[in-house]
Each structure stands twice: as structure tokens, then as C-alpha cells.
Structure 1
């Protein structure tokens, strides 16, 4: 029998759509389709992947519906193929909280599909950016590589931004116009700038700072810098208490195990599968102790049956 290329353009049968807001959702930033896109996959997975890639967004992606559309394989084989496609980086199942004016908060379920295989970190970034439907990556955002971005130090002098005085320095420099007895030199402003900055950092506004420095001055001020320094230190406002951290919000989007649907964060579902389903695939879920216990039970039952067949001693 001639082998059919699973990536060949086949007529897509009428496929049922999922309920609005559910079903297939194409991942962003995919490479264009071409011959051999799924050539790295086994024949069954490549066949299923080629079909999924041609489905429109919103199409039903459950194993029962896919098995009806793909008569070569039953539901169990389709589930296994979906698990393998998930492990290969082509799909993830996601549940997302959505606000509904009629029913309040509800969950919608998507199966993200990417013909371009992605690693776990890429899928985690997609999950975090799901609210905007974008992937926060350099390729998508168009970020210029760091080595191509000129720094201010590298810019010519005529276009290099000029650093202005700090707000604290500006307040000190204008004191002389408000109160001539506190006219400060440039050196005085530089020496007192750190103290004035601490005032502003602790919530004091400019008017508060100026009043604290200029109110109740003696008739003659012999050293404006010394007097301002003394007042800045003695009248320093208290440090502002740290604001309590906002309560942690429930995640808006969760990934689901492709096999069993158990929800979790991406780091708990590498390859899109929970630990139990990964262990089941490798046979690790059957511990050696369980096998020994089952063997002991069978031996004991055989002994009891033999004893029941023997005649009772008189």
C-alpha cells in the first residue's frame, strides 16, 4: 500500500465547532506551514498533527470528536497521540477565568496549538501573557538586541541627554529667593542634597521642606549652610512604614494536564502532563512493593482453596 504523506493537503471534513470561547486556539508567532513540518513525529502523531493544524480556531479538540473525524484511530489512540504531541511541544490545554455579566466568573477551556514545537518555558510565557493574547518575547515585541542599542554614554555630545539638578538640589538652590538669610552656594547645595533627598523620600513635599528650613530664623544668620544642615537633621520626618503587600490574586489562567485535565501551573506540568500521567506512561506508577503484595495475596488464596478441598480430619 502506498504511503501517504501526513502533511499533504487533504480535504478537511466538516468538523464540529466547540461552544463559543472554547476549543482550538492557535498559538502566536508560528512558522508557516510547509512540507515535512511534522516529519520529526511518528506516523500516527504526524497524521493527527496535520489534521489539527488545518482545523480552524474554535474547533472541538476532544478525543471523542477527533476519533470520529479520524477513523484510522480510536479514542484511546487519539488520547495517546495528543499526549505525545503535548510532550513534543505542539499543544497545551488551558483553562482561563472569564467574567460573564450574566453568570459571574466562569472558566473557558482552550487547547492551544502550535505547528512549531515549543519548550516548556515558551508555553509558560504564553500562559502569563494570555490576557493580551501575546507572547512576551523579543521576536514578537520587536526588541532591538542589546548590542545594537546605543547607550547614552555612546551617543554624540549634541544628542546626549543632559542630566538636570535633582529635586532636592533645586529646593536648596531656591531657598535664597524665599529667605535671603538662607542663600546657599553651589557647594552648600551639593553638601546638603542627600539630607534634603531623604526628606522628600519620606513623604515631605517641597513646601513642608521650605517651611521647616525658613520658619523662626534668628535676625542674623552667620552660617546658612550650618543652620540648614542642623534643621535638616533635627527635623527629619520619620520613615514611612512599608505598605503591606497586596493579597495574592488567584491565577487568571491555569494549564491543564493534556491527559487527565488536572489543573496546575506550567512548572508542575512539564510537557503538558501531570506527574501521575507521566509516571503512568513510563510504568513508574506500579511500585515493586505493590507487585510483591499482589503476588503474596494470590499465593495465600491458592493455599486456602487447597485447604478447603482436603477432607476434614475426623
Structure 2
């Protein structure tokens, strides 16, 4: 006989409200060197900041950190209170908002992130941390080496290469009993043929001249013309000019009919040679920018360098809200109210 258990089973705890997740690349990021959480974390802060800081500290990486999402998840405080609390946490050294450039090639976009630190950090630590995050190298795909060709032992069905084994026995009447010259002939054939020369990579100057005819048909150049004008065009590239600038300089304001394209282009390459700018940065360095990271003001979201936003605030936000107690004018005790009223009455009288 089965015995009925009278004690009810424990109910499963109610599932907590799921965190609002940010879009890929956005949201919360935990800073490095974090200690384990303790009950007295944020104990010295006011009640609102302590409540919001404890909630943000429990959020996982990638959670939404915008004001609307936090206010929607916190029933006790609205958006104004959340905004003020985030500003106070930024001044206390617990968070920094940044804009980070992600992507590669043409697929580049700016994302907003919020770095959170359970331990309050000073401005020097945040500056060093954000500088380190900015200088992180972009992951580069490691090329996979090509597989080695299978050997004769690994591929028994592959065609066998000439081996030093003796050939089949020849008849006794053969005048040359040893087939050594015949076996050695295939080895000398590759040595007699000259190696195939690798195709020369055209220079940027040559490519710009070759593409000139596609941009302007009146200046179409042949291969021999491009080789003859390549040194003159290379001088332009040596002075920091790119192919777009060179093409515009050569095709601007050309006559309706060009009898000699090579002579016209040679004259313009000589007469319109750009000046040499001393100390100009190399164009290759400007063409390959590194990963960029900008800090954001916690109050207004204005971007800037990390060292230009101490306490996570820009200069206008630091000076926008001065102490009201020190700026509110207080009426002087020695002021004569009756004399002031008499002066106002005299001003309102008609002449």
C-alpha cells in the first residue's frame, strides 16, 4: 500500500526579471582587477546611489546600461534619479562611459560601452586602463599552413616517381646493357629550362597612369607610355599624393581634343608637380589607423579623450551646476526697505 506524503514539496523560487540585454558590442563591461563582492560594498554612498550601484554590480557583461533600461528595471527610482546616480558613481570612480570603434575594413561602426569597477578608482587609473584598452591589437587571423603533398607511402594509388631500382633485364643482344643515361635524362630536363619569372607587381604610379584612360578617354595611355611616365608620377607619390589627387590634377580642365596624350600628361606631370611638405606624415601611417576609443561625459555624452574628462565629466558639466548655497544672493540686513520702496514710488510717478 502506497503511503501518501502529507508534507508539501518546496515551491520553486519565482524567476527574477531577466536583464535587459544590449545590442552586440554595447552595454556593460567589467574593468580589470576586480575584487570579490562584499556586503559592505558601496556602504558609504547615499541610499539611491547604493541601491543602483548594487544593481549595476550584479548585471552581467553585455547588459543594457542606458538610463531608460535601468529605470525600467528599478521600480523605486525614475530616469532622473538614475541619471543623477550614474553621474555620482562616475565621479566616485566606479564607472566610465566610452565610445569604441569596432569592425574591420568598410564594416566599421562606433559602439557605446560602460566600464564598471566595483572598487572606486581615481582618474589616473581610469586613464591608464582606457589607454590600455585603446592600444589592444586587433585580432588577426592566423594563416593555416597548406597541407603537405601526400607521400608515396601515404598514397599508394598515386603515380610512382622514378626510383633507383634497376629496370627490367634487357636482352643479351642489347649493345648497351646499362640504362643509366635513359634514367638520368628526366632529372636533367628541368635544369635545362629557365625558371619562369614571377610577374612584376606594378607600382602605384603605374596603376594610376593605367587607370587614367578609364577616367578620361582623351588621356588613354599605352603600356609603353605608362612605363615612360612612371618616374614622373612616382615623384608625385613621393611627396604625399595619392592616386585620386593625381587623377584630378591631370584631368582637370583639359581641352576638347588632345592630339598627344603622352605629351599632354608629361607636361602636366612636370608643370603641376606638388610642393614637398617638410615633416608631413607618411601617407601609409594615415591610411592604417589603429583602434580608437573615446571617453564619454556621463552627464551629456560629449566624447573626448580620457584625460580630458576627469571624473567622467566634461568641463561644461563640471562647471554648469555650481553650489547653490554659495551663489544664492542673501538679502543684506542693513538694507533699508522703506527707502527702497520710496525710490520705486518716485520712479513710477508721472513727470
TM-score of the aligned structures, taking structure 2 as reference length:
0.45
TM-score, length-normalised on structure 1? Answer: 0.50
